[in-house]
Amino acid sequence: MTTQITLDRKRALRIAGTLRVAGALVGLAVALGACTHTDEAVTAASYPDDYRMRHPIAIQEADQSIVIFVGHARGGLSASQRADVMGLAQTWLHEATGAINADVPVDTPNARAAADAVREIQSLLAAAGVPARGLVVRRYHPDDPRQLAAIRLSYPKISAVAGPCGIWPEDLGPSIKNKSYFENKQYYNFGCAYQRNMAAMVDNPSDLEQPRTETPPYTARRTAAFEKYRKGAPTAIAYPEAEKAKLSDTGK
């Protein structure tokens, strides 16, 4: 009987030791897994500190377009629509990199009126200096029959773009995954709206890459200034009307 009790006790001790070792291994695996997950999250959330590198302004070709709505019973253009077409023609002459595409609806209640409007558009573009090969008419079937089909005029141009904005890969508050919060680092979306607005406001996208060529100097004015300098006279310009433009005498 004593021998049987001793064997049962040894067996129980071996089982308890095995369970302790297994528990230690499981705890170590969980700890290592947690460390590995944290490192991956921090690496994935890393980004440049400079907002100009996070949200660079890219120069690419984009479409400039206007939409002309045409009813089913009137095929001519209104005064404002004619002004829009003439404005598009003027900008096309200066900045376009391809032909004007006119998307015209077909098999719609206003298809006949749209065809009449396109003929007037062609006349306006020709009067503004757009050659016949500068307009390409394309016909399309609207996806939604309930929506009023319109004529869309578009042409490609060189544009500056940035974004998209509104991407938040991490929280702004304190978090174990938010490395930028503890390092006082700019959040990812910081500066995106500024870059996007700057790209939209620039008149000539090439100005972002290189300076423009200098224009020739005004020789007549430069000669007059040199003549005053040669005689020892003041070369400053007097503006006699400057005082009349002031709205207040504060500071006198």
Closest CA to 164 of 194, 191, 199, 196: 196
**pLDDT string in tens for the chain (252-residue length):** 445 445 556 565 566 556 565 555 555 554 544 444 343 433 344 678 899 999 999 999 989 999 999 988 876 899 999 999 999 999 999 999 999 999 999 989 999 999 999 999 999 999 999 999 999 999 999 888 777 889 999 999 999 999 899 988 877 777 777 666 677 778 889 999 999 999 999 988 989 988 888 888 888 888 988 998 989 998 887 777 766 766 767 766
Q: Is 99 left (phi over 0), alpha (psi -120 to 50) or beta?
A: beta
CA 154 to chain centre: 19
Question: 101 burial class (0-12, 13-18, 19+ CB within 10 angstroms)?
Answer: middle
Q: Which amino acid is at 7?
A: L
What is the dotted CATH code of the domain comprising 63-156?
3.30.1330.60
- 137 forms beta bridges with 102
- 103 forms beta bridges with 138, 152
Separation between Cα atoms, residue 52 and residue 37, nearest integer Å: 30
Phi then psi for residue 12, to 5 deg, are -65, -40
- Strand order, beta sheet including 58-69: 58-69, 150-161, 100-105, 135-140
Task: Please give the DSSP secondary-structure letter assigned to residue 210.
Answer: S
